[in-house]
Amino acid sequence: MRLLADLHTHTIASGHAYSTITENALAAAAAGIELIAVTDHGPNVPQGAHPWYFWNLKNVPSVLNGVRILKGCEANPSADSENGIDLPDVVLEKLDFVAVGMHPLTGFDQLDRDRNTEVLLRVIENPLVDQITHPGNEDEFPLHLEEIVAAALKHNVILELNDHSFEPTSARSTSAAREREFAEAALAAGVPVSIGSDAHYALHIGRFDTALRVAEEVGFTRDRIVNRDAASVLAHLLAKRDRPRLDHGGERTWPEPVTRDAEEGTTW
Ligand SMILES: [Zn+2]
Ligand SMILES: [Zn+2]
């Protein structure tokens, strides 16, 4: 099975990632990926991006070197904001893609399953939210699986199968079994599922072989995965709500470097 879209990618705006949107787009084009969502960390993660960063993403081309760019976020549940998320609705509604996930040092490190589930259920109920990232992160942010899966089904929110969760070197690798349980439950319930690279460097865009293998073992077919290609992603998102800035920024191609004739213009 081959997937042609990646709904989880980071840039230098996340503070602990190492490529730009441009580099990610060029790497995606080289890898045959049709669409990427730029999902930088929200402000509550240490070094996460300021709300203005997300607001101003309209400057970025919507298509760069043939790759569709969804301008999004990986926001965090927040205990002290009006909407329970660390970006306000007035910013979220402008984004092409809204992912939310739980991360260390954002106020939820107490391993409190009931509280985590409660805050994430409120996030899932927000009609502006499209995806929950790495819900199977049992060791850091335990959740009541049945409640999260039922809410995701009801509100048409994507549950992500995250490639990092299955990487032996990842901080989340000890939760691989739980992530598999989420995949099984999501498949059985009919919840939309994506497989994300969570790339923090351009060359990792579209790399999700490990999570993909788990998805296949669990029984997923390609038609059950939202990010199978650009068209399937856009169809899913547009069926959920309007995306007012989806085409802002237009279509651009990064120019070829200018090659100069060594003789031309030489006057000495
Ligand atoms: Zn994350
Ligand atoms: Zn991430």
Annotate 89-118 with DSSP letters as a single string.
Answer: HHHHTTSSEEEE---TTSS--S--HHHHHH
Looking at residue 195, its pLDDT comes to: 97
When the pLDDT of each residue in the chain is averaged and rounded to a whole number, the result is 94
Q: Do 154 and 192 form a contact (C-beta atoms < 8 A)?
A: no
Q: Compute, in angstroms, the gap from residue 197 CA to the centroid of ligand 2.
A: 8
The pLDDT of residue 252: 94
pTM listed for this prediction:
0.94
User: Which pLDDT score, from 0 to 100, does residue 257 have?
Assistant: 81
Q: Is the pLDDT of residue 261 over 90?
A: no
Residue 54: both structure tokens together: 């997300």
End-to-end alpha-carbon separation of the chain, Å? 60
Whether the predicted pLDDT of 164 surpasses 90: no
What's the CA-to-centroid distance between 265 and ligand 1, angstroms? 52
Range scoring the smallest mean pLDDT among 42-56, 128-142, 166-180, 254-268: 254-268
| Residue in the block written with tokens 């930088």 | 40
Nearest-angstrom CA–CA distance, 169 and 188? 30
Ligand lying closest to the C-alpha of residue 9:
2
Question: Tens digits of per-residue pLDDT, 185-222?
Answer: 999 999 999 999 999 999 999 999 999 999 999 999 99
Distance from the Cα of residue 261 to its chain's centroid = 44
Whole-number Å distance between alpha carbons of 150 and 119: 15
The tally of CA atoms less than 13 A away on the side-chain side of residue 58 is 11
Percent of the chain with pLDDT over 70: 95
Query: How confident is the model at residue 101, as a pLDDT?
Result: 98
- Which bound ligand lies closest to the C-alpha atom of 133? 1
Q: How confident is the model at residue 165 (pLDDT cuts 50, 70, 90)?
A: confident
Spatial separation of the C-alpha atoms in residues 132 and 135, rounded to whole Å: 6
User: Ligand 2 centre and the CA of 4: distance in Å?
Assistant: 18
Q: Categorize the per-residue pLDDT at 263 as very low, low, confident or very high, splitting at 50, 70 and 90.
A: low
Q: Which residues pair with 85 in a beta bridge?
A: 77
Rounded distance, CA 134 to CA 161, Å? 6
Of the listed ligands, the closest to the CA of 171 is 1
Query: pLDDT for 13-37, tens place per residue?
Result: 999 999 999 999 999 999 999 999 9
Residues 6+ apart with CB under 8 A from 82: 88, 89
Judge whether residue 98 has pLDDT over 80.
yes
